Structure 1
Amino acid sequence: MSETKNEHTTPTADVWFTWNNVAAEESAPEPGYSGILFDETLRDGLQAPHIRNPTLEQKLAIVNHMAGSGVRAADLGFPGSDPTAARECTELARHIAAEGLDLAPGYAGRTHPSDINAICEVGQRAGVAVEAYVFIGVSPIRQYVEDWDIELIRCAIRESAAECRRGNVEFVLVLEDAVRCTPQVLSSVYDVAVETGTRRLTLCDTVGAAVPGGAEALIRWTQRYFADRGHPVELEWHGHNDRGLALVNSLTALALGCARVHGTVLGIGERAGNASLDQLMINCHLDGRHTYDLSALRRYCEYAAPVLGVDIPQNYPALGRDVFKTSAGVHASAILKAHEKGSAELKDSVYAGVPAGLLGREQEVLIDMASGANNVKYWLTRHGYATDDATLIKKVLERAKAGRAPLTDEEIGQIIATAG
């Protein structure tokens, strides 16, 4: 698209606009959580200096993990960036078709004919339907910095929609930095969406500026805008985590009826990353909104982490090494009592908001300096020993309180072997 110089020499007040300061309009409640999750791992997730670009073979495996865990749509790359990317994007689409995976392939591109043509060629070469996620910055601050004006943006959207129609690909209009875009600018952009018959639109919190109230205000205002014009549009939400709010903003978007909400595995992405796809899946599953295979999700994350060159923190929700471990005596007492009642579900929930069994794991009771007799009794019960030997329990606790780390199974075994 051509550029025209912005006549402003200093920023105007709307450059600093944010939807966080706008009250959400009253609206009839939308069907909550009817949308699906959109996996951006292989596109937006790779845009960080510390993330390793997987090989094609690894990307194919990641696609298999996506589908296996219940993801039904994904952004699989930026084919217009270079010939290698175009070839890989085509192979990923072919793989989805050949394996019969229930996964809709999307590809990203700018509002440049060359980018859109590259997406069209992926679909033609692979022989599958693909979706073009065509992005453009719309906020006043972006316009000011780039020396763009609103007519340039509107023209680019018209041309992109027409190009997608010619190439027979689904056009998804992606509005970068929509969270900091004024209603006046959005109105002008939305008018072009109506004019071009655009049916899908992605609202982006590109710099992670939104708070939940701001996300709600923007989504509700947008829904009302199109409803008032009798133009049905499926909204999508794409959030970043700069303020640590990507997850709650994304759950808000789902609750307000967004058709797709974007995320990346383990929340990878540039700066502070994107909304965490795995945390979105777990919350949706636990809330009964969608059914996901959380054991498959765990395998996905455990495969992707080393491939992408990231570590899963020990306390990372649901997936970290230590999140189902406790050494506190009060917690161990409750888990032991739940175990004695014979209910695996009860034991998995008494001191856990996420049942470990859903991820193929179990509650672990450790024995360390913070532990009490019930920690030892639970360990003995789980390993087939009697729990009525007070002397043995005392010896185990004495050893634990003398150390600086939890006792290992081997160390407890040695204490038992020498106790008699």
Structure 2
Amino acid sequence: MSEAKAEVEPVSVWNAARNLTRPKLHDETLRDGLQNPTALDPTVDQKIEIVHLLDEIGIDSVNIGLPAAGPRPYADCIAIAQAMASSKLKISAAGAARTLVQDIGPMADVTQKTGVVMEVMTFIGSSPIRQYVEEWSIELIRKRSVEAIAFGVKEGLPVTYVTEDTTRTPPHVLRELFMAAIDAGAHRLCLCDTVGHATPDGARNIVEFTRNLIAGMGAEVGIDWHGHDDRGFALANALAAMDAGADRIHGCVLGVGERVGNTSLEHLLRNLERDGRYGTWKTEKIAELCEKVYLGTEFPPRPDHPYFRPSA
């Protein structure tokens, strides 16, 4: 008598998603991740090793720093970009900048000196509380944003417009800023859950709002999702944003980042691969990547981390 063999489906019927498009993955470990007060700034050699591993795994882009922050960040960006060029890595480079021409100029310099095109991720606060603290008007935010984006585009660089605290910003403000950014030449909009305010429903809603706005303008503009874990929703929000149409998701190795951290890149990778519908990444390199980031930052992983250290 033969035993009946159960059908094992790689994807549970209960986990059906609306959006099966493979997302791009963007790493923020070496920029936003280092905002954690307990994380050390790795040496440039350690940063280069981390970028190599991200490339091996199949991550699409990496933020290599804020070159306008000073001589060392600038030198590190040059060295990392040169290493990326000499090794012919597939991963693309990005850098952070305030919405100031003087912040974007150094990124143009890095591109000219290394041949590696730097994506400009230019950021400014947009929520009412940020407006109050900084004493900014919407008109000032819009003006600074347009000037910065236009300068980056003039320099031949792709520009992502990053509104800090997007998830606490009213729709009418986002509409005004996003439309101005797109008209100025931004090729992507980055939605930031800067203080971990959003729920998965909120992530879906704001992505759908942004998609509708872009469609209404007849523009071809990508949507990034950048999340933090203050409420413990970072991973769930990232997956919800992706399901709603965000085509690039940010993460940091070990979840390192401001306060309680950013979306964990390794958890995001494992969930996408385990799902089985989005292709594969070289996830066997995750433990090595986590080890490199730990050694470079001395940021300790959770003792119950599922992919790295004692409990893995």
The letter for the 1-side match of 2:90 is: D
Once residues 164 and 210 of structure 1 are traced to their aligned partners in structure 2, the CA distance between those partners, rounded to angstroms, is: 30
Q: Match for residue 242 of structure 1?
A: 230
Larger Cα-atom Rg = 1
Q: Match for residue 311 of structure 2?
A: 322
Once residues 283 and 104 of structure 1 are traced to their aligned partners in structure 2, the CA distance between those partners, rounded to angstroms, is: 23
CA contact (8 A) 2:178 2:189 kept: no
Once residues 155 and 303 of structure 1 are traced to their aligned partners in structure 2, the CA distance between those partners, rounded to angstroms, is: 41
Once residues 243 and 208 of structure 1 are traced to their aligned partners in structure 2, the CA distance between those partners, rounded to angstroms, is: 6
Q: Match for residue 135 of structure 1?
A: 123
Aligned equivalent of 1:34, options 22, 28, 32: 22
Is 1:198 the equivalent of 2:206? no
Q: What SS does structure 1 have at the residue aligned with 2:203?
A: helix
TM-score by length of 1: 0.68
Q: What SS does structure 1 have at the residue aligned with 2:69?
A: coil
Q: How does 1:168-207 map to 2 (within 5 A)?
A: 168-207=156-195
The letter for the 2-side match of 1:274 is: N
Structure 1 segments unaligned to the other structure (5+ residues): 1-28, 324-420
Answer 1 or 2: higher relative contact order, Cα 8 Å, separation at least 6. Answer: 2
Number of residue equivalences: 295
Aligned equivalent of 1:230, options 218, 239, 251: 218
Once residues 290 and 46 of structure 1 are traced to their aligned partners in structure 2, the CA distance between those partners, rounded to angstroms, is: 30
Q: What SS does structure 2 have at the residue aligned with 1:100?
A: coil
Larger mean CA deviation between 132-141 and 299-308 belongs to 299-308
Once residues 177 and 259 of structure 1 are traced to their aligned partners in structure 2, the CA distance between those partners, rounded to angstroms, is: 19
Once residues 163 and 196 of structure 1 are traced to their aligned partners in structure 2, the CA distance between those partners, rounded to angstroms, is: 9
CA contact (8 A) 2:48 2:80 kept: yes
CA contact (8 A) 1:199 1:233 kept: yes
Aligned equivalent of 1:46, options 6, 28, 34: 34
Q: How does 1:303-382 map to 2 (within 5 A)?
A: 303-323=292-312
The letter for the 1-side match of 2:123 is: F
Displacement of 1:141 in angstroms is 1.4
CA contact (8 A) 1:208 1:245 kept: yes
Displacement of 1:81 in angstroms is 0.2
Once residues 308 and 95 of structure 2 are traced to their aligned partners in structure 1, the CA distance between those partners, rounded to angstroms, is: 29
Q: Match for residue 80 of structure 1?
A: 68
Once residues 45 and 130 of structure 1 are traced to their aligned partners in structure 2, the CA distance between those partners, rounded to angstroms, is: 19
Aligned equivalent of 1:276, options 264, 271, 276: 264
Once residues 30 and 114 of structure 1 are traced to their aligned partners in structure 2, the CA distance between those partners, rounded to angstroms, is: 42
RMSD of aligned C-alpha atoms?
1.4
Q: How does 1:90-109 map to 2 (within 5 A)?
A: 90-109=78-97
Is 1:264 the equivalent of 2:252? yes
Displacement of 1:145 in angstroms is 1.6
CA contact (8 A) 1:69 1:300 kept: no
Once residues 299 and 227 of structure 1 are traced to their aligned partners in structure 2, the CA distance between those partners, rounded to angstroms, is: 41
Once residues 299 and 152 of structure 2 are traced to their aligned partners in structure 1, the CA distance between those partners, rounded to angstroms, is: 36
Q: What SS does structure 2 have at the residue aligned with 1:80?
A: helix
The letter for the 2-side match of 1:188 is: E
Q: Deviations over 1:155-210 (max 9, x none)?
A: 11110121112221111101110000001111111220232132211000011111
Is 1:113 the equivalent of 2:101? yes
CA contact (8 A) 1:34 1:257 kept: no
Q: Deviations over 1:267-296 (max 9, x none)?
A: 001100000000000111111213111211
Judged with a 3 Å threshold, the aligned counterparts in structure 2 of structure 1 residues 30 and 111 are, in CA distance, closer, same or farther, namely: farther
